[in-house]
Amino acid sequence: MSRRSFLRGATQVAAAGSMIGSSAADEMAASEAAGASEVEALRGASELEISVNGKLRTVEVEPRTTLLQALRTHMEPPLTGTKEVCGMGSCGACTVLIDGQPAYSCLTLAATCAGRPITTVEGFGSPDAMSDVQQAFCDKDGMMCGFCTPGFVVATHAALERAPEADLDELKYQLSGNLCRCGTYPHVFEAAQAVQEDRARGGEGR
């Protein structure tokens, strides 16, 4: 097997593994496969331009560098809002949006992200100007240790975009790719429902 075909296979496996939520699985698979098929074989560290939160960022990455590593340790300044907890695609703490769809950044190779818009938790708001979801997590006490919270915030934005009128069962399904080891689920769902109610009353929907 050539190095090129190995890398291509690896990026396709990694891309498929980064998908979250079976409701979006087919769309994400097609999108990830399209991105992976355009990846050229990389040797050693290479410069890569990635669009993160609307800004082009240049990072030096190896073929094996994940998007999570690129965000947290390869950028200057680093974007540390996205958390690493399991590092193996089982908890959702590292959730970001790629092409508007939630994905595990710990399972996504940075090299597959060139030319694809990435949104991290920092892209939704700041401590001084929080998004409605971020504000609701604060108002409803949707966190304890907080390690899962950035991933939940990103996933909640995506869930409410995908299913704005979801009932509680649907919200649980939409957020089933994210785990909270502190057990704050009731507060997380309360936060999501508060945002739904606010948006239904004509809130900003940031």
Question: Can residue 166 be called a binding residue for ligand FES (CB under 6 A)?
Answer: no
Q: Which amino acid is at 142?
A: G
Nearest to 68 by CA among 46, 47, 93: 93
Q: How far apart are CA 17 and CA 158, in angstroms?
A: 18
Question: Can residue 97 be called a binding residue for ligand FES (CB under 6 A)?
Answer: no
φ, ψ of residue 14 in degrees (nearest 5): -60, -40
Question: Can residue 86 be called a binding residue for ligand FES (CB under 6 A)?
Answer: yes
Q: Which amino acid is at 45?
A: A
Residues with Cβ within 8 Å of residue 19, at least 6 apart in sequence? 25, 28, 29, 32, 103
Interaction pattern, residues 24-43, with ligand FES; x per rule: CB under 6 A? --------------------
Question: Can residue 103 be called a binding residue for ligand FES (CB under 6 A)?
Answer: no
Residues with Cβ within 8 Å of residue 11, at least 6 apart in sequence? 36, 39, 109, 111, 112
Question: Can residue 132 be called a binding residue for ligand FES (CB under 6 A)?
Answer: no
Q: Which 46-85 residues touch ligand FES, going by CB under 6 A?
A: 84-85
Give the nearest distance from C-beta 107 to ligand FES in angstroms.
7
Q: How far apart are CA 153 and CA 27, in angstroms?
A: 22
Nearest to 101 by CA among 165, 34, 185: 34
Nearer to ligand FES among residue 104 and residue 124 (C-beta): 104
Structure tokens at 62: 């190896």
Give the nearest distance from C-beta 128 to ligand FES in angstroms.
23
Pick the piece of the chain touching ligand FES (CB under 6 A) from 37-45, 53-61, 128-136, 137-145: 137-145
Nearer to ligand FES among residue 71 and residue 111 (C-beta): 71
Structure tokens at 139: 């108002």
Pick the piece of the chain touching ligand FES (CB under 6 A) from 1-9, 29-37, 138-146, 166-174: 138-146
Question: Can residue 89 be called a binding residue for ligand FES (CB under 6 A)?
Answer: yes
Binding site for ligand FES (CB under 6 A): 84-87, 89-94, 104, 106, 143-149, 180-182, 184
